[in-house]
Structure 1
Amino acid sequence: MSSVLRIPAATPQQSLDYLQAKLAFYTDAWDLAEDLGRQIPDIVVIDARAPEAYRAGHICGAINFPHREMDATTTARLDRSKVYVTYCDGIGCNGSTKAAWKLASLGFQVKELIGGLDFWKRDGHPLT
């Protein structure tokens, strides 16, 4: 028996629902770079790493906001109409997930950058 087909494929509607939900949570480096280049005003990029990591190189326009510092007080001035894209070093780092979780728990719209800075650099995008 086929290893791929041992478990039946989802129906087209199940696939559509799942993939749409997945895309609601994540963005990739290419799409983010394109939107940053077009200066889309509804997106704010959050570097969730420590300040020294941010200073060593970050996505142009990203603000450094370590996930450990996020709470109701420190996020009070953030614009709730924006979508916040969080990132950290890469797939071995969950700082972006923690930042996205904290922001979402405080009522903000969030997406996580797939692969963080690792995938950003692999795609050839610059750091500041």
Structure 2
Amino acid sequence: MSAVLQVPPASAELAVAHFAARLAFETDCSDVAADLGAGVDGWVLIDTRSQESWDQGHVPGAIHLPTREIAARAATVVPAGAAVVTYCWGPACNGATKAALEFARLGHPVKEMLGGFEYWSREGLPVETADGVTRRPVDPLVAPRGVACAC
């Protein structure tokens, strides 16, 4: 018997609803980078990590707003009507989820950036510190050189 098909796949109708819903809540590093590079507005990127983490490096253009400060400061850093994209450390961290929940409670449309800062930097995307903007080497396990995901 198939381990994959031991639980049958959902119907196409249920699958459409499920995957469309996931995309309504999530985005990825590549899409965030594309929008930032093109100067697309209407949304803000929020880094929810601690000050020490932010200082180690963050996405250029992100706003630093630790999760514990969202309720008190969101109105001062997020323009009215703007969608919010949250990120934290990476896939093993639920900080972006906690932050997204806080923004949703405040009435903001919100998405999480899958992979967080870990995958942002592992994909060789720009990282900003007090010393300026740099790019770290691409990790070939997440973004093979010369190969585009094209998703």
TM bin, normalised by shorter chain, reads: over 0.9
Structure 2 runs not aligned, ≥5 long: 129-151
Report the Cα distance in structure 2 between the residues aligned to 1:122 and 1:17, rounded to whole angstroms.
31
Say whether 1:52 aligns with 2:88. Answer: no
Task: State which drifts further: 89-98 or 45-54.
Answer: 89-98
1:23-74 deviation line (CA, Å, top 9, x unaligned): 0111011111011111111120000011121122100100100001111x42
TM superposition shift of 1:22: 0.3
Residue 40 of structure 1 corresponds to which residue in structure 2?
40
Residue 91 of structure 1 corresponds to which residue in structure 2?
91
- State the SS of the aligned residue for 2:127: coil
User: Which of 1 and 2 has higher RCO (CA within 8 Å, sep 6+)?
Assistant: 1
Q: Percent identity?
A: 43
> What amino acid is the match of 1:108?
H
Residue 119 of structure 2 corresponds to which residue in structure 1?
119
Task: State which drifts further: 76-85 or 43-52.
Answer: 76-85
Report the Cα distance in structure 2 between the residues aligned to 1:76 and 1:43, rounded to whole angstroms.
14
With the length of structure 1 as denominator, give the TM-score of the two structures.
0.93
1:71-92 deviation line (CA, Å, top 9, x unaligned): 1x42223323111110111122
Say whether 1:3 aligns with 2:3. Answer: yes
- State the SS of the aligned residue for 1:60: coil
Report the Cα distance in structure 1 between the residues aligned to 2:59 and 2:73, rounded to whole angstroms.
22
Residue 108 of structure 1 corresponds to which residue in structure 2?
108
> Which segments of structure 1 move beyond 6 Å, counting only runs of 4 or more?
none
Cα RMSD for the two superposed structures? 1.1
> What amino acid is the match of 2:125?
H
- State the SS of the aligned residue for 1:79: coil
Report the Cα distance in structure 2 between the residues aligned to 1:118 and 1:75, rounded to whole angstroms.
24
Residue 21 of structure 2 corresponds to which residue in structure 1?
21
